[in-house]
Structure 1
Amino acid sequence: MNPILLFDTFACRSSEVVRHRLLRPILIALLLGSVTFGLNSCATARGFGQDVETTGEKIEDAATR
């Protein structure tokens, strides 16, 4: 076997490992960010629903007077 070819194969494996080690924290950060965004949007939707409910109650009270 040619030692240069063995070295090239090792270099490719090494670069894949480095790429994987760099990609993993980025993917974890994106996942955590999307979960955080999702939780915040649920709270916002709940608050919006409460505002609409309060507005509807005020309209009903004004209509019954």
Structure 2
Amino acid sequence: MPHGKPAGVACVQLDAQLRCRLFGQPERPAVCRSLRPAMDMCGDSREAAFAMLEELERITTP
């Protein structure tokens, strides 16, 4: 997404299983490559991780 991803909008590179199509590819954005899973960001499940991402988007929306 050339100008970034708006809050609440799924990345265009996610497939039907919500997996990144660019994972491991050189064209994957640096911000995505720099993310590392951690308990305080991901919680203990996929659902918890998505809830945290939604909250981060909510609190950072201008």
Q: Which of the two has higher C-alpha Rg?
A: 1
**Which structure has more helix as a fraction of its residues?**
1
TM-score (norm 1): 0.27
TM-score (norm 2): 0.28
